[in-house]
Structure 1
């Protein structure tokens, strides 16, 4: 999700009623497209290209691993596979064009592609968040109700969840952007598209509130509550196991239990920390900016937008590299062993 280049707060009275570039328009355009010296341009390009590379190849590694190895064909991993596909498409289709727009402060790809870009941008970002929430629900049943988990969380059920995670954001995103309802009532919006050759995307007051609550606050609150419950139940299970092992005077098993508990707590902390760090700033800005007359500095909003993108960069690190099966699968991929006969039957546990 991206925000308008906030020059429109200074150009509300600039309407493209005449096809003439006035000196004032030229000055504004130049000030927008040339904000940094070349060395800064290069540094930002290198950093953002690195983020895109990690996003694309990290998530591609997860896609290939889960698709190829039969041992990984489980309901939970299918959710992770779907989320990895979402983040992969974000890295391939959205982030490169957004990088050019962010660095050059200009949109070179035309008005029609601007709409398509934003529609897919919004859709994939929301899909990624919905997947994070769905994975939290899956882990909740696995930890808190393990006896009924295989019955409730089946492959057929996960396919329905994945369909919802993709279809609802798609309908929402394309519906909002195509109808232009997200910019209804914003004076000067079209002038930035037509006169300044930009792709200025923003939300009015109504849609900023809807976006904040529907796409961040509600899913985020569900995730926080679920992971707190998971942590509490994990602690309870660890304490019970500790008492059992103490009665059996098995200090080794007790130590292993403590290590697993610390690892689980650390993983949950990283999951929530990364999600909140990446998404909260940009969604709060989306919420308050229309009520502040779009006064948020353009560079700040752009940086927060990329912080949200970076959540897709971190996802393969969190849900992939934290699992031993992914590290083993990655070695198979890197060394070309997946092309060997019966490699799909390899033991990754």
Structure 2
């Protein structure tokens, strides 16, 4: 079915793509929608049902998943219809709502990623103090601020959209293009890059410290363990999204044997260290080696996080900004290329569950239990 003709005749405008292209685009869009919905629904179920994932910081992932689910169900189907028919077939009111929701959910998803990066930075740089302050209420307030910022950016399309019945495009005012591109992508992207670089430098510096130089720090952390709930292991999960297994070792023969025995019996060295002082060298060296392993895996995780984010969103916002820079040359950015970059940005919503959960053992175990429907009582 084509779009109605604005001249008032009963004829319809032809579709923009041949049928074979429409079939391929529809198939790819349906696969994308299913991936976004399935992956993000799994995240929500895992966090709400698993005891191991009920930490306050995981509320960011739930809110991010909800934004991506809403994008896939309320926005992408209409973007597909507009792409296939080459025009806007629905009402002007829904056009304004559709554009506002598109900007809202995409911007919210990006700002969520920025908030997660800041949360992880503070959890690494101010481990004890920040973990004590990070309550569910504070996290929910931060999430509310994220949605408010996204709503402010998406508000102009509700009142400034131009729709003549044949197209439904976001406002082409130069000021809004610069404003939305900066607020929705370039500024959050700059913050994420700076924060993740800072996190990596902190983690790298800590791995280079010999065990003996951090004895006082470790002692303070051990005394605070009851208050913050394993600060050291929490840093690894927050900064890298990984569950790092402890592998204590020591240069001393007796300590090595003792550590090996505790490892086989499943006894944590941090629990025994307070009772048996001879285990302290094992704890210090074990944590140091743990940090070395974490640094290597951390480098890979950061590359995946930033690489996927920039790869999906930079082409669209860069070309979107070019449309304002070269306003006197409407064909400077080919429409087909612009639409490809537009859909590439949507793909980031399907990658978020993978990036922020696949490297976490708790999420993997929870997903397996949900999919296999086994041992639900252990969740």
TM-score interval, smaller chain: 0.7 to 0.9
Gap runs ≥5 in structure 1: 1-15, 184-188
Whether the 8 Å contact between 1:82 and 1:162 is mirrored in structure 2 is yes
Q: How many residues end up aligned between the 2 structures?
A: 306
Higher relative contact order (CA 8 A, sep 6+): 1
1:186 counterpart residue number: none
Among residues 28, 36, 41, which one is paired with 1:47 in the alignment?
28
1:243-254 equivalences under 5 Å are 248=251, 253=286
How far off its partner does 1:241 sit?
5.2
Q: How does 1:1-349 map to 2 (within 5 A)?
A: 19-20=7-8, 29-30=13-14, 33-35=15-17, 37-173=18-154, 175-180=155-160, 189-190=162-163, 193-194=164-165, 197-240=166-209, 248=251, 253=286, 256-293=290-327, 294-295=330-331, 296-337=333-374, 340=376, 343=377, 346=379
How much has 1:108 moved relative to structure 2?
A: 2.4
8 Å contact kept, 2:121–2:195? yes
In structure 2, C-alpha distance between the alignment counterparts of 1:142 and 1:80, rounded to whole Å: 16
Deviates more, 1:236-245 or 1:164-173: 236-245
Please report how far the alpha carbon of residue 247 of structure 1 lies from its aligned counterpart in structure 2 after TM superposition: 8.3
Deviation, 1:39, is 2.2
Change in CA separation of 1:106 and 1:327 when aligned onto 2, cut-off 3 Å: same
Q: Is the 8 A contact 1:133 1:219 kept in 2?
A: yes
Separation in 2, partners of 1:71, 1:115: 42
1:203–1:286: 8 Å Cα contact kept in structure 2? no
Q: Report deviation, 1:168.
A: 2.4
Q: Which runs of 5+ in 2 are unaligned?
A: 1-5, 214-247, 257-281
Asked if the contact 2:153–2:183 (Cα under 8 Å) also holds between the matched residues in 1, the reply is no
Q: What is the Cα deviation at residue 317 of structure 1?
A: 0.6
So what's the TM-score if we normalise by structure 2? 0.74
Q: 1:282 to 1:153 in 2, by over 3 A?
A: same
* TM-score normalised per structure 1: 0.80
Q: Shift of the alpha carbon at 1:318?
A: 0.4
- What is the rounded CA distance, in whole Å, between the counterparts of 1:46 and 1:171 in structure 2? 34
Q: Deviations over 1:105-129 (max 9, x none)?
A: 2322222211111111110111111
Deviates more, 1:250-259 or 1:135-144: 250-259
Whose radius of gyration is greater, 1 or 2?
2
